[in-house]
Structure 1
């Protein structure tokens, strides 16, 4: 009888793990503030720099300092009611700088700052996760 090669036959199957139960509580409580100013001729030079003291808050009260740009949020700038592209402005606590010299004195500017740093998620009940079943047949 001639020699023949005997090959090993192996099959495997597995089930995916499943998760059930568990409770996640997420709290989203953004801090949104708005400020408005009117451009003056002195603000328009090589760019348009609006000092913090030129702004007032939603209550009409003068502002001493603007909020720092939030790391977990965003800010929007509206010039004459039109939302501006994000890369055209720079916000610091001292001023808002618009990358333009085409602004006109008397134009209203609104700054809106949304900060989501207080958002939190907690797992109050741990989920049950099954282990996968792996079957190997030789």
Structure 2
């Protein structure tokens, strides 16, 4: 009679994941000269923003597709992402003619550079 051989194996896997966020914050006080009087669209040039150290910004960091995101606050209120557009040289906010002069506008750009490492130990 044939005998069935059974393998007895256990395996342990440990995975370490680092999300490694890179957060850039840009600050701006609404200047009415940046609002198009015909359309009401606010176009904030990159050089009108300052960073965390109050340094003027040359370009806006873009969010990586599928690995980053934007948060835009107007007067401290988070805005829906469909209400603005971000490019490396400006931020556009349509229908902005109701925003108060000198209202603070904050753009936060978060990108991730994740790393994962798995170690598997097989015991027989």
Q: CA deviation at 1:106?
A: 1.3
Larger Rg: 1
Residue-by-residue CA offset, 1:45-76 (whole Å, 9 max, x unaligned): 12111000000000111101111132211110
Point out 4+ residue stretches in structure 1 off by more than 4 angstroms. none
Distance change (3 Å), C-alpha of 1:43 and 1:126: same
Q: Is the 8 A contact 1:28 1:119 kept in 2?
A: yes
Q: Distance in 2 between matches of 1:86 and 1:98?
A: 10
Q: Of 84, 88, 112, which residue of structure 2 is paired with 1:89?
A: 84
User: Are 1:31 and 2:25 counterparts?
Assistant: no
User: Are 1:112 and 2:112 counterparts?
Assistant: no
Q: Distance in 2 between matches of 1:82 and 1:127?
A: 50
Please report the RMSD computed on the Cα atoms of aligned residues, expressed in angstroms.
2.0
1:132 is matched with: none
Find the residue that maps to 1:26 and give its secondary structure: strand
**What is the TM-score normalised by the length of structure 1?**
0.73
Q: Is the 8 A contact 2:25 2:51 kept in 1?
A: yes
Q: CA deviation at 1:91?
A: 0.5
What is the number of equivalent residue pairs in this alignment?
111
2:59 is matched with: 65
Q: CA deviation at 1:115?
A: 0.5
Q: Distance in 1 between matches of 2:121 and 2:68?
A: 30
**What is the TM-score normalised by the length of structure 2?**
0.80
Q: Of 7, 30, 41, which residue of structure 1 is paired with 2:32?
A: 41
Find the residue that maps to 1:63 and give its secondary structure: coil
Find the residue that maps to 1:57 and give its secondary structure: coil
